[in-house]
Amino acid sequence: MPESKTRKSATIKTQPYKASEPAAVKKLKAPGSRQWVPPTFITVGLLGVIWLVVYYLTASVGITIPYFTDLASWNVLIGMGLMAASFGIATLWK
């Protein structure tokens, strides 16, 4: 009795199934050196903290600094904005 077609195909060695590979994806080149990031975000963050400390100390003692008194409550926003910018810069660090 002749062998069935399924048996013949089962005896033939085939290559294991490979999922179709996606088209080659172009990789973006990483930007150059990012050694500037740590000193920059530390400097900007400390500047924000120093801005707030100076604002609160001068307000509590009664010392007037020409532009600090003109900005009034905007000093808080400036100090917090500098600290937020520092965290934003820190995300660039690799």
Per-residue pLDDT tens for 53-89?
A: 999 999 899 888 888 888 989 999 999 999 999 999 9
- What whole-number distance in Å separates Cα of residue 64 and Cα of residue 58? 7
Better pLDDT: 43 or 20: 43
Question: pTM, whole model, 2 decimals?
Answer: 0.64
Average pLDDT over residues 6-31: 65
Among residues 44, 81, 75, the alpha carbon closest in space to that of 59 is found at 75
Task: Let me know: does 41 contact 86? Beta carbons within 8 Å.
Answer: yes
Spell out the domain ranges in the chain: 49-94
Q: Which residue has 């999922």 as its token pair? A: 19
